[in-house]
Amino acid sequence: MSWETLSELQTELKQFAHERDWEQFHAPKNLSMALMVEAAELAEHFQWLTEEQSQSLAADKKQLVAFEMADVMIYLLRLATELDVDLLQVVEEKIKNNHERYPVDKVRGSSKKYSEYKQEE
């Protein structure tokens, strides 16, 4: 399988769910909860690791992490499909918004949130 666009992948995932009669379970509420579960399973692989350990996973552990990342992406894409959200468009909008909210000259090297550094002005 190979997809050239996100839309093609979304179509494949929708077809997969349809063939198994899973659409009945794929309400946005359920998909968002499944997404959170998968994100938690991803985080579990890093629980108790040091920063250094988290950056140098063994190959077998990295494969497990990659599969969890895929699960997160699959549920996110299914949610976007069900809500008719163009993820590429909204990500572009969000990045533009972040450029405005987090100007380099004010936030470089800082982990503060927008609301925290904005209060200092």
Annotate 22-87 with DSSP letters as a single string: -GGG--HHHHHHHHHHHHHHHHHTTTT--HHHHHS--HHHHHHHHHHHHHHHHHHHHHHHHHT--H
Report pLDDT for 28. Answer: 98
Question: Over the stretch 78-102, which tens digit does the pLDDT of each residue have?
Answer: 999 999 999 999 999 999 999 999 9
Interacting residues of 102 by C-beta distance below 8 A, sequence separation 6+ = 114
Q: Which domains does the chain have, with CATH numbers?
A: 1-85 (1.10.287.1080), 86-121 (no CATH)
In percent, the amount of the chain with pLDDT more than 70 equals: 97
Report pLDDT for 110. Answer: 86
Q: pTM to 2 decimals?
A: 0.88
Q: For the chain, first and last CA: distance in Å? A: 51
Residue 121 has pLDDT above 80, yes or no: no
Report pLDDT for 119. Answer: 65
